[in-house]
Amino acid sequence: MEFHQRVAVVTGAASGIGRALAGRFAAGGMRLVLADIEEPALHDAALALRAQGATVLAQRCDVSQPADVSALADASYSAYGAVHILCNNAGVGGGAVPVWMQTPDTWRWVLGVNMMGVIHGISSFVPRMIAGGEEGHVVNTASVAGLVTGPLISPYYASKHAVVALSESLYFDLQIVGSRLGVSVLCPGFVKTRIGQSERNRPPEGDFGPPGSDQMRAKMKELIDQGTAPEEVATQVVDAIRRRQFWILTHPEMDARLSDRAERMLARRNPEVPELAQRNSPQ
């Protein structure tokens, strides 16, 4: 796929993987549409990319709100006349507590951003991308948490499994209609992002329950801080787009866990609680 002078839309573009994707696309000569709920950080990201010579449209967008995503699509097509790469990347985490302690407001928030944000992106952009008739690609950011499961962050696991399923369905549907659009689902492990600080973008009103075990939160922060650089993930995404590769599994060290889950499932064996969760379970 030719990148130069094509148009890429990235949600969650102000930091983390989204910011790295924007940088990689800019380096390839693409024109950019950056969206994020954090307006000051979005402004800074846009300024930095423009200083490097990129053409950038930046727009605040809450992906959980369909009107925001529809307005983002309108602005993108008004500015550039086309969209060739769509990265439904915005995402949040949640409190590390058992399923029965997750509040309705937490479920609404996490599913609203992580799952409905992808649905809104597909609904608002893909019909126009198909109608444009040009080669293009959709990248939906899930997680390795969309391929395995575990305790204490059930809304996150549920939302990311949904993104994987949505992405496969989108892939099949585009194949059936003979579209020139490709699809990838991004399933990274631990990456150096600010997802552990997701509460900074949580709605100010609502009951989001307790934050969970301090010990577990500290361990998660350590794993994130030691994670892969977002730029490395972005490079793998660009390579996958060029190869029209559906699965983007950025952490090969997780392959054994994926295999173990599949083997347990096929053998009808019960899941095994991860050792980390056993040591740090809330009291």
pLDDT tens string 76-94: 999 999 999 999 999 999 8
DSSP string, 4-17: TT-EEEEESTTSHH
**pLDDT band, residue 218 (cuts 50/70/90):** confident
Q: How far apart are CA 111 and CA 91, in angstroms?
A: 9
Tell me how far CA of residue 122 lies from CA of 65, 73, 143, 188, in angstroms: 13, 10, 18, 21
Of 161-170, 207-216, 252-261, which range is least confident? 207-216
1 secondary structure, DSSP code: -
Domain containing 19 equals 7-280
Residue 1 lies in a domain: no
- Full-model pTM: 0.94
Residue 216 lies in a domain: yes
Q: For residue 212, what pLDDT is reported?
A: 77
Q: Which residue has the tokens 């395995």?
A: 148
pLDDT at 191 over 60: yes
Torsion, Cα 7 181 160 63, to 10 degrees, reads: 40
Residue 126 lies in a domain: yes
Residue 24 lies in a domain: yes
Please tell me the total count of domains within the chain: 1
Q: How far apart are CA 88 and CA 122, in angstroms?
A: 8
Q: For residue 217, what pLDDT is reported?
A: 76
Residue 208 lies in a domain: yes
What share of the chain in percent tops pLDDT 90?
A: 82
By annotation, the residues acting in catalysis are 156
pLDDT at 279 over 60: no
Torsion, Cα 19 24 26 29, to 10 degrees, reads: -160
Average pLDDT over residues 112-139: 98
pLDDT at 55 over 60: yes
Phi-psi region of 104 (alpha: psi -120 to 50; beta: other; left: phi over 0): alpha
Residue 133 lies in a domain: yes
Average pLDDT over residues 48-55: 98
Looking at every residue in the chain, the average pLDDT score rounds to: 94
Residue 2 lies in a domain: no
Residue 130 lies in a domain: yes
Q: For residue 280, what pLDDT is reported?
A: 44
Average pLDDT over residues 173-181: 97
Of 2-6, 139-143, 219-223, which range is least confident? 219-223
Whether 108 and 116 have beta carbons less than 8 Å apart is answered as no
**pLDDT band, residue 282 (cuts 50/70/90):** very low
Q: Is the pLDDT higher at 32 or at 221?
A: 32
Question: How many Cβ atoms sit within 10 Å of the Cβ of residue 232?
Answer: 15
Please list, in sequence order, all residues whose beta carbon lies within 8 angstroms of the beta carbon of residue 4, skipping any fewer than 6 positions away: 28, 29, 30
In the chain, the amino acid numbered 136 is G
- What six digits make up the tokens of 262? 């599949």
Q: Is 107 exposed, middle or buried (0-12, 13-18, 19+ CB in 10 A)?
A: middle
Question: What is the domain-level CATH number for residue 153?
Answer: 3.40.50.720
Q: Is 134 exposed, middle or buried (0-12, 13-18, 19+ CB in 10 A)?
A: middle
